[in-house]
Chains A and B, each alone.
Chain A
């Protein structure tokens, strides 16, 4: 039986429920957003008893489909005050799927000060009191749980940042190497911390496994899909070789690499932190240039980055993190950024929000521009120990700006703007403005078409076609986020005609359904509208769909571009 696990922290009870018919065809983001919209009062306090934390594997998670192992987490976001979905690789989604758990819903809040953990297995979910692992970082938690419960155990945990309910706190998920992937954005780790759950362990021993309605059809479609992923130059070659960080040099060249807290569009240290340099460094130090964040990933954009002595420093070292501390904070040493990435993983804190917060902190004069060692110190000794300064920075870019009176604060809906300057890459600005998630590049990745010439070409410096581009991508992304697919399948999906039909064929073969392309688009639209309706009911208005005003007034070099969309033009995004 497919089931929903429900955990009530008010009275420490758990139940196993049948999946209601209206949720039966939903997975991933479609399911988390539907549940949050239905069950969470939009005006509740995100860290109060009325918020709920929902996890759901994608529709294809647990199957043999390539790149289908993403897990969605959803709740009302303490960072944005709106609805949030954040998805992640790691091993948990596939375990959920094999256990036939469509969703885990955590509600309420315990009385007293005690902490708890959840254990999931074939019999359901149980609640334990927890004290031994409190205060520990994610790496120690995972190590301890692996010795206690075995190497294969799945782990979803919060670090000290989540325990402190910092609004940048993420939920960390164990990856196949025993390291960490993160539900990074929107402070979902704080929601888990507010329910005083330190970790969730998963044991899929004796799991019933996935049932495929039409196995032969599934296999055939899966083969075509995987071939498309391997054939496309981005997913087949570029990502596995250079990782996402290949973008540093491209965005620098295009003048869209936000530098010195979004003052300039180019960074003179770009070569030192580029994907090309990173690739050479990884190879020279015996790291791994390619690595999958979950079993079944054939793209493998991730990597293992070693230090000078050949010892593990970090993995899943992403463009956004490297940009954020690199160009945006003027740090030129990749090793310092890698060290910071490792500490952020251990503390359980979003590396985008935190990097942008450091940029604002440097603008405020709290630490010097480009001082990577001081960034690592502040992470460890201030955020890690919960000092006042640490809590301010750990509460995100908006909080730093408000506390120190900085006006150049790159956030939308209080969530930090990542990695692409919206003045010189205008399509992504529309995504930042309109996504119900707050500024989020993954919500509708127009960089593909604005900069990378994937899925056609739309001039990044002009307004023409950007609204439509962002809308189409946001609709498609909402649907992809529901399948459990990694967003990077979008590169082949945009360019290779067989790719998307094969994905739909897999869905149909998995469930014995008869979905068409239109149904999938319809699903994407419904998800976006559901999320937007939640935000409006939470008190947001069209005025929240805006970039900070400095983007209108301060031109960004080298193209001297400004953000020049009118409010009416932006609002037209929602005409669908």
Chain B
């Protein structure tokens, strides 16, 4: 099967030693959890997980050209 292309965006200290934005290829059916763990994060570090600008559960399966954005728990106001 063709791999799918997913844009991954990292924010705040998640960028330290990693990247801001990058395109990755995954096997179809990959979910947020697998990608997060694959990047070396612990699930407990995740503050906000968004796919295409909407909050997504960890078992959300990504589609071709989706954008996955990962934020640590941060806030402001």
Q: Which residues of A does B touch, CB under 8 Å?
A: 233-235, 237-239, 241-247, 249-250, 253-255, 271, 275-276, 301, 319, 441-442, 445, 447-448, 451-454, 457, 459-461, 487-488, 491, 558-559
Contact = CB atoms under 8 A, between A and B. Distances in A.
Given A238-B75, A246-B11, A559-B54, 18 more contacts: A233-B73, A234-B74, A235-B75, A244-B77, A246-B76, A250-B48, A250-B71, A253-B50, A253-B69, A254-B53, A275-B76, A301-B76, A447-B75, A452-B75, A453-B47, A453-B55, A488-B77, A559-B53
Contact of A452 (B11, B13, B20, B74): B74
B72 A238 contact: yes
B64 to A, nearest CB: 18
Given A250-B48, A253-B9, A453-B47, A242 B74 contact: yes
A241 B50 contact: no
A254 B74 contact: no
Contacts, number: 92
Contact of A246 (B9, B54, B69, B74): B74
B50 A254 contact: yes
Residue among B15, B47, B76 with most chain A CB within 10 A: B76
B53 A276 contact: no
Contacts of B74: 233-234, 237-239, 242, 246, 250, 452
Contacts of A238: 12, 72-76
Nearest to B9: A253
B72 A233 contact: yes
A244 B76 contact: yes
25 contacts: A233-B72, A233-B73, A234-B73, A237-B13, A238-B75, A239-B76, A241-B12, A242-B74, A244-B77, A245-B76, A246-B11, A246-B76, A247-B75, A247-B77, A253-B11, A275-B12, A276-B11, A301-B76, A447-B77, A448-B75, A452-B48, A454-B75, A457-B55, A488-B75, A559-B54
A250 B54 CA distance: 11
B47 A241 contact: no
Contact of A276 (B12, B73, B75): B12
Interface string B14-41: 0100001000000000000000000000
Nearest to A450: B55
Contacts of A453: 47-48, 55, 73
A216 to B, nearest CB: 33
Shortest beta-carbon contacts, A-B, top 10: A244-B76, A238-B74, A234-B75, A233-B73, A247-B76, A255-B53, A253-B69, A246-B74, A452-B75, A319-B76
Given A233-B72, A452-B47, A457-B55, A250 B77 contact: no
B21 to A, nearest CB: 9
Interface of B: 9, 11-13, 15, 20, 47-48, 50, 53-55, 69, 71-77
Contacts of B53: 253-255, 558-559
Given A254-B50, A447-B77, A451-B48, A241 B11 contact: no
Contacts of B47: 233, 452-453
Nearest to B47: A453
B68 to A, nearest CB: 10
Contacts of A454: 73, 75
Contacts of A254: 50, 53-54
Nearest to A451: B48
Contact of B77 (A233, A445, A460): A445
Contacts of A491: 75
A276 B15 contact: yes
Given A233-B47, A461-B54, A243 B11 contact: no
B57 to A, nearest CB: 10
A487 B77 contact: yes
B77 A441 contact: yes
B73 A241 contact: no
A448 B77 CA distance: 9
B56 to A, nearest CB: 11
A422 B64 CA distance: 30
Contacts of B15: 276
A242 B72 CA distance: 12
